[in-house]
Structure 1
Amino acid sequence: MTSTANEIVVNNAAWANATPRLSVLIPTFRDDPSALLKALDDPSTRAEIIVLDDGSGDEALAKRIAGRIERLRLPARLIRLTSNQGRAKGRNRLASHARAGHFLFLDSDMLPNPENFLARWAALAEGENTPIAFGGFTLEQTPLRPEHALHRAMALKSDCTLAPERAKSPEKHVFTSNLLVRRDVFETVEFDEGFTGWGWEDVEWAMRVGRHHPILHIDNSATHLGLDTASAMAAKYEQSASNFARVVSAHRDIVSAYPSYRVARALKPFPGRDIWRPMLKAFALNEAAPTSLRAFAMRLYRAALYCEAV
């Protein structure tokens, strides 16, 4: 174990002499990635795993993650930050520890679907030297829980799509939940650390990098286990409004084609936003209402939050 002023690093026994071809980069904040780490532990892939605990301050959780890191057969490192850096800074920090020629960004609440998930990514990195690829995500292994019904319905409609559909708007469907990036590409275009809170930093990165490199979409999916309650979703959308404004400022030519932008433009002229916007939120949070109508209300609420930026 080593430490500096703001990070503590724990390596497992396999770390020191490894020459990895693929660096799997997993940020976490108060989530336990143990199930993901266990599923990824395939030494034949010549991968390394790097986990960033982004200032969670949870000693018991950090101890569990460190124990799992030490038991992995793959070379692995845990980085514990003493303060939270956020989504963009945290991922850039992860990449600075990576040693391989390709990075695979995975969220800590993901779980691979195919058994050869990591081997397929390794083959794409080594064999085809792919600059950027997104593998998609599903809800195949996500438990059915009533409090997550709204998020499930919305994700299934807009996010859980197959590669041919994603490829129609390649930058729009890039998320750091399951993203392969070649080292030289990332070193040229890192995540914009001006983004704060939740939302849009990965799509905005794809907008910038997509101007210079093709974005490949494949079906090598992982399950998103971490669905949110309706209130947590609303809070994230509220956080994302300033990030959306940052995207509009830099990439209006691209984002103006997105439904979220077009609906926000359509809603902007309507007076009394301070009255009807909270009503949309209240309906979306009402678990007694039909899920399809709640989802419609939540999308309108998000667009109403974005009105200021369009």
Structure 2
Amino acid sequence: MTSPAPKASASKAKITDNAARKAARPAVSVLIPFLRDDPSELLQLLDEEAASVDGAVEIVVLDDGTADADLTARLVAQVKAMALPARLITLPANEGRAIGRNRLASAARGGSLLFLDSDMRPDHRRFLRDWADLVSREDPAVAFGGFSLLQAPTDAKFQVHRAMAAKSECVPYTERAKQPEKYVYTSNLLVRRDVFEAEAFDPGFTGWGWEDVEWAMRVSRRFRVVHLDNPATHMGLDTVQALAGKYEQSAPNFARMAARHPEIVAAYPSYKAAKLLKTLPALPRLRALMRRVAGMERLPVAARAFSLRLYRAALYADAV
């Protein structure tokens, strides 16, 4: 399966390259999609490693339809000033996460693609160097560096998301390696180009959620997935209300994934919970209650997180 061709709007995309890009021959392309975020801090942190990677790494940034002229102007100036080879692609309209990642891969020149979301921050100053060294040494098909909450905000409004992420996403590499296909998220994820061309992201996934998990299901059947301790912090913690909104968006994607991989999804706790909840006659009222309980600040964080997980499963009950 090759990467899908860009949409017709490709001709309207604005491309900004810096001076270092023309002569560069990178081994690793760092691919950063964003929508209504500001990736400038991440770009600055990555650029601080330019000397240590000595041309082995390039940056490709995709603005997936933010339509913010001031932000675009600032990013154009920043990209042009970067020491790392860099390209900024500015789209006039949103094309979605899966299509955006496929577009980034088409613009990349490295043999390995490092997907990195704009709200990630490297946890140390050897981040790019470690990825470049891994590619030079082992050239893995797929490798995941890990998430952390080391630099993430500690505001009370993010406590529930922090608790959920700490339990399900911020897993040490030694534990991830025991179930390598389970812990694959498309941020801080390295994919060799031939692997990506064989298994691209499904553009049928729209909105938020599950396109990375579905991709990992396909890839892990054909290629070895390795894990390493090269973490980055997920800075983009959400409030309960924002996270609930994302779960609502993700239900159709969960249904699509379940239809394509029923034997795998059937073992997911969220699927099992959804099947049980589906049998309840008062589910719509219960679902509203779960959402309300998750937002009650006077309750313990663990109880709120449990209620929010139930709410997600109750949403998915309509899809299973």
Question: How high is the TM-score relative to the length of structure 1?
Answer: 0.97
Partner of 1:302: 312
Is 1:233 the counterpart of 2:243 in the alignment?
yes
Aligned partner of 1:33 among 13, 31, 39: 39
CA distance in 1, matches of 2:260, 2:302: 33
> Is the Cα contact below 8 Å between 2:153 and 2:237 reproduced in 1?
no
Aligned partner of 1:158 among 141, 153, 168: 168
Partner of 1:15: 21
Is 1:277 the counterpart of 2:293 in the alignment?
no
Amino acid in structure 1 at the alignment position of 2:13: E
Amino acid in structure 2 at the alignment position of 1:24: V
Partner of 1:252: 262
**Of 163-172 and 232-241, the range deviating more from structure 2:** 163-172
**Of 64-73 and 47-56, the range deviating more from structure 2:** 64-73
> Is the Cα contact below 8 Å between 2:117 and 2:187 reproduced in 1?
yes
CA distance in 2, matches of 1:209, 1:62: 35
> Is the Cα contact below 8 Å between 1:30 and 1:61 reproduced in 2?
no
Aligned partner of 2:158 among 114, 135, 148: 148
**Of 32-41 and 217-226, the range deviating more from structure 2:** 32-41
- Residue segments in structure 2 that go unaligned for 5+ positions in a row: 1-8
Amino acid in structure 1 at the alignment position of 2:22: A
> Is the Cα contact below 8 Å between 1:171 and 1:210 reproduced in 2?
yes
> Is the Cα contact below 8 Å between 1:6 and 1:83 reproduced in 2?
no
Number of paired residues?
308
CA distance in 2, matches of 1:67, 1:181: 29
Query: How far off its partner does 1:4 sit?
Result: 6.0
User: What does 1:257-268 align with in structure 2 at a 5 Å threshold?
Assistant: 257-268=267-278
**Of 3-12 and 185-194, the range deviating more from structure 2:** 3-12
Aligned partner of 1:186 among 170, 190, 196: 196
CA distance in 1, matches of 2:281, 2:62: 45
Partner of 2:30: 24
CA distance in 1, matches of 2:234, 2:19: 30
Between the aligned residues of both structures, percent identity stands at: 56
Aligned partner of 1:286 among 296, 302, 312: 296
Cα deviation 1:207-226 (Å, max 9, x = unaligned): 00111001111111000111
Amino acid in structure 1 at the alignment position of 2:156: P
CA distance in 2, matches of 1:266, 1:6: 48
